[in-house]
């Protein structure tokens, strides 16, 4: 596994973990506020949410990231992105040269 594929997978995994944690925390806050749970039940709910988010991360998110972001798919997408950037750079350079020529050809009329 190369460095760029490791970095892309790591960012996707960390982002997914944060999203799952935030969703579980939001659900806990909503349940606690709407049900007016006591201190002990709130604590138990937070523990269950933490365990559920860890299980979702380990058994759903991590396999999905490795399936969706395989080495072959990442290498192809990086090659396409690099080609598009090269094409965009060449087009931008040609547009810049054309704009400079148009500006040089423009001479204001003296009044």
- Boundaries of every domain in the chain: 3-69, 82-111
> CB burial class (10 A; 0-12, 13-18, 19+) of residue 27?
middle
Q: What is the H or E stretch that residue 62 is in?
A: helix 62-68
> For every one of its 111 residues, what pLDDT tens digit does the chain have, with 9 covering 90 and above?
678 788 889 999 999 999 999 999 999 999 988 888 788 888 899 999 999 999 999 999 999 998 888 888 888 888 888 888 888 888 888 888 888 888 776 666 666
Of the candidates 14, 6, 7, 16, the residue with the CA atom closest to the CA atom of residue 56 = 16
* pTM for this predicted structure: 0.64
Q: How far is CA 51 from CA 25, 48, 98, in A?
A: 12, 5, 61
C-alpha–C-alpha distance, residues 76 and 74, integer Å: 5
């Amino acid at each position: 596994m190369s460095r760029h594929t490791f970095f892309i997978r790591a960012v996707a995994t960390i982002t997914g973990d944060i999203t799952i944690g935030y969703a579980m925390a939001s659900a806990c806050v909503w349940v606690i506020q709407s049900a007016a749970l006591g201190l002990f039940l709130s604590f138990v709910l937070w523990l269950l949410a933490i365990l559920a988010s860890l299980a979702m991360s380990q058994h759903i998110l991590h396999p999905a990231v490795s399936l969706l972001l395989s080495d072959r798919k990442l290498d192809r997408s990086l090659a396409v992105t690099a080609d598009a950037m090269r094409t965009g750079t060449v087009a931008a350079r040609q547009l810049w040269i054309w704009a400079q020529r148009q500006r040089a050809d423009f001479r204001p009329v003296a009044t």
